[in-house]
Amino acid sequence: MMGFADWLPSMPPPAVQDRLASVSAAQIQRCLVAGSGPLRDAPLLFSTAARPHLEAMAARARAITLARFGRTMNLYAPLYLSNHCINQCAYCGFAAHRKIPRSSLSLDEAQQQAEHLIKQGIRHLLLVTGEAPARYGLDELCRVIERLRPLVASLAVEVFPCDLAGYRRLVSAGADGLVLYQETYDPDRYQEFHPRGPKRDFRARLEAMEAGGQAGFRSLGIGSLLGLTPTRVEACYLAWHCDHLSRAFPQARLAVSFPRLRPVSGGAPISHPLADADLVQFIVGMRLLFPDAEIVISTREPADLRDRILRLGVTRMSAGSRTSPGGYSDENLDQEAGQFAIDDQRSVAEVAKAIRAAGLDVVCKDFDPAFMAAQPGGKA
């Protein structure tokens, strides 16, 4: 099967802009009655022309989510293991040129942070590092995964890209989810935001996600950092990437995130701000295109917005997050050494209360460990 990186040049950003601009009301109405698949429908559902149909799209998205996921919301929290990084991403607080306190957690410190979250009811952890393999690489990561695996229901990683052998090591150690954002699918703008470091290789990053799929991760998480480039174009690319991965790796559950760029001092400006209503449109449009995909909203977003979109298609939310190594035991660390400022500052208990108030159950455990153990070569 052709890789997504080989397909992408056939749909350059100006072509996507043209498709978004030429959408008619009749096309949207036809799409809402009978879709033709993500390739054709993504520009329809993410266009400005679809805005008058947002209520109908939201009602449909809500019904699909209820049918596929029930009244549930999966809560997770990030656990930052290291903020060392050799890249210089223009939008990130960990970029190599920034003068911030740098640290990596020891194995025991990582466990203490995890136990802090577990005490609050979190059973799904997302392990996060920068990219500095000489300081914090696969060996360190695998040791943490092996230590934490018995303590939680699922462990995903959002770390430096690996090759197939590297990802196989992570899966074998017990990681079940991979999160790797492309940040932008526009290859020229990508170069602007990634001036130095291995992350500058646009194609290698795209191909890493496919290596993750081949390695056997149960969940593959993708996202664009919305605010850097025209957001409707990015939403289309995200849908097409999701479509490609779902056909290439049907055994994996796809997870789509819509992180909006948060301000970082001296960092990339938010040159394409995304309004709340547009974010809602992307969420419900993605749900219509991919009924079974997880849709993820993090604490980057404000509490009131997160509460309002609880039942529109979102199935996974972070809660009580800190974005620095050790941030769960020292609340001040995030201010000087965090990756970005979170907006929803509520505790896990407060977020869980809001979810229950919306008539949903908080999922703290799921079938993953038992399911994985039952697979050939599986590991609980």
Residues lying near ligand SF4 in the complex (CB under 6 A) are found at 85, 87, 89, 92, 94-95, 130-131, 199
Distance CA 135, CA 85 (A): 9
Q: C-beta of 68: minimal distance to ligand SF4 in Å?
A: 31
Note whether 118 and 99 are within 8 A (CB): no
Q: C-beta of 16: minimal distance to ligand SF4 in Å?
A: 24
Q: Give the three-state DSSP class for 360.
A: coil
Identify which of residues 102 and 272 has a Cβ nearer to ligand SF4 in the complex: 102
Identify which of residues 132 and 351 has a Cβ nearer to ligand SF4 in the complex: 132
Amino acid at 110: A
CA separation (Å) from 278 to 182, 225, 236, 241? 20, 14, 13, 20
Distance CA 63, CA 59 (A): 6
Q: C-beta of 130: minimal distance to ligand SF4 in Å?
A: 4
Tokens describing residue 128: 């996060």
Q: C-beta of 109: minimal distance to ligand SF4 in Å?
A: 19
Q: C-beta of 89: minimal distance to ligand SF4 in Å?
A: 3
Q: Give the three-state DSSP class for 219.
A: strand
Identify which of residues 199 and 260 has a Cβ nearer to ligand SF4 in the complex: 199
Q: C-beta of 341: minimal distance to ligand SF4 in Å?
A: 14
Identify which of residues 69 and 94 has a Cβ nearer to ligand SF4 in the complex: 94
CA separation (Å) from 374 to 29, 173, 186, 328? 44, 16, 41, 34
DSSP state of 46: T
Identify which of residues 131 and 344 has a Cβ nearer to ligand SF4 in the complex: 131
DSSP state of 234: H
Distance CA 351, CA 254 (A): 24
Identify which of residues 299 and 315 has a Cβ nearer to ligand SF4 in the complex: 299
